[in-house]
Amino acid sequence: ISPPALALIVQERKSTRLDFSISYAGTDNLIWTAEVQEEDADWLTLQPTSGSVTFGQPGQVAALADAAELSPGQYFANIVVTGEGFSGPIGIIPVSLTVTAGPQIGLEPQTPLSFSVLSGLDPDPQAITITNSGGGMLTWVATDDVGWLSLSPASGYLTGGQSQIVPVAVASASLEPGDYSATITVRDSNAENSPQTVAVNLTVLQRAAIELDPLSVSTSTPEGTNAFPWSMTLTNTGGRGLNWTATSSASWVSAAPNSGIVPYVPGVGGLSFSMWINFNTANLAPGDYEATITFSDPEASNSPQILPVSLTVLPGEAPTISNLSWSLRVLNDSTCGNNGSRFDIAFDYADPN
């Protein structure tokens, strides 16, 4: 019998084989039988278990080791070969089986990945870490069950103890506000604990929105005066608090106040804030002026909003007096220090400014 002993090495969950041969030096046929001696060695089978050999024509037997149900470690058995016409075994073959650790999928984090982003934007990527926490070679493939999630790379190879960081990107800019969920699945058919999963939660937040009333301001004022203030309303028509600022392009016009918060109250709808557009025009020369006031919130969906302001400074005009009349009241009035006379004077006064 050759070889006289068999040493097999196999990765857990896999199988392997080694062959041995039975030769016979006689001139007749040898009818032989082979069996596994140990009752608990059900991991070892033989093919075939019987046959015949003649001189110069040895028989081959395959010893098959299946580690599907075995943990890493060492296992032993004996193969006993008997021959017809022989009183005892014609050969005992010691068999040793070494089962090595197979790949194991280690996946971090164990808790869900959580993304939160304003509508119209993509959040910063996060990452998962894939580790071969066993032995052998982990041939991993990662998939997800939604269209807005992507992993790069989505597959790879890891030896025992080796890890790889895999970025997870979310494309949420086109998603409507709301809550979304997904599952990342990491597989390797050779890993005992395949598949492994990690959950992904995504919240797309509604954004604030700026609405102005009126949409523009146009006014006039006489030279040397400040134009009358205008009242205006800023409304948050979005679904999130509005933290706004107002910036003027000219020193002669400004919003008062120039910043504020218009909160979002679920179920109530858009809230409004009243303010004034103030003018500092007393030092402006006659003419036409243009400016803008920019209302902005970086997190508002329609930021910025521009309020155009037009101003006309009118040239000054002298007042007019008409219909002048007078009448004598007291001649040589003694209450006057110089005995002057008192008169009543009447006229119409008109000032276009």
Distance of CA 206 to the CA centre of its chain: 15
Task: Provide the pLDDT for residue 26.
Answer: 85
With CA atoms as reference, report the closest residue to 160 among 130, 133, 193.
133
Is residue 262 within 8 A of residue 346, CB to CB? The reply is: no
pLDDT in tens, the chain (353 residues): 999 999 999 988 889 999 999 999 888 899 999 999 877 789 999 999 999 999 889 999 999 999 988 988 999 999 999 999 898 899 999 999 999 988 999 999 999 999 999 888 899 999 999 999 988 899 999 999 999 999 999 999 999 999 999 999 999 999 998 999 999 999 998 898 999 999 999 999 888 999 999 999 999 999 999 999 999 999 998 888 899 999 999 999 999 999 999 988 877 767 899 999 999 999 999 999 999 999 999 989 899 999 999 999 999 878 899 999 999 999 998 888 888 999 999 999 998 76
Instruction: Determine contact, residues 271/262, Cβ cutoff 8 Å.
Output: yes
Rounded to 5°, the CA angle 151-155-160 comes to: 120
| Residue 157 one-letter amino acid | Y
Answer for the pair 226, 139: CB distance below 8 angstroms, yes or no. no
Element holding 209 (H helix, E strand): none
* DSSP calls for 267-316: TTB--EEEEEEEE--TTPPSEEEEEEEEEE-TTBTT--EEEEEEEEEEPP
pLDDT reported for residue 205 = 87
- Residue 109 CA to residue 201 CA, distance in Å, equals 13
CB 313 within 8 A of CB 286: yes
The pLDDT value recorded for residue 135 is 87
Which residues on adjacent β-strands are paired with residue 295? 246, 305
Task: Give the three-class secondary structure for 43.
Answer: coil
Q: Return the half-sphere exposure (C-beta side, CA atoms, 13 A cut-off) of residue 96.
A: 7
Measured CA to CA, the distance from residue 133 to residue 5 in angstroms comes to: 33
For residue 195, give the nearest of 253, 142, 263, 257 by alpha carbon: 142
**Residues across the chain:** 353
Q: Cβ–Cβ contacts within 10 Å for residue 82, how many? A: 16
Distances (CA, A) of 287 to 144, 189, 218, 226, 234: 65, 82, 14, 14, 30
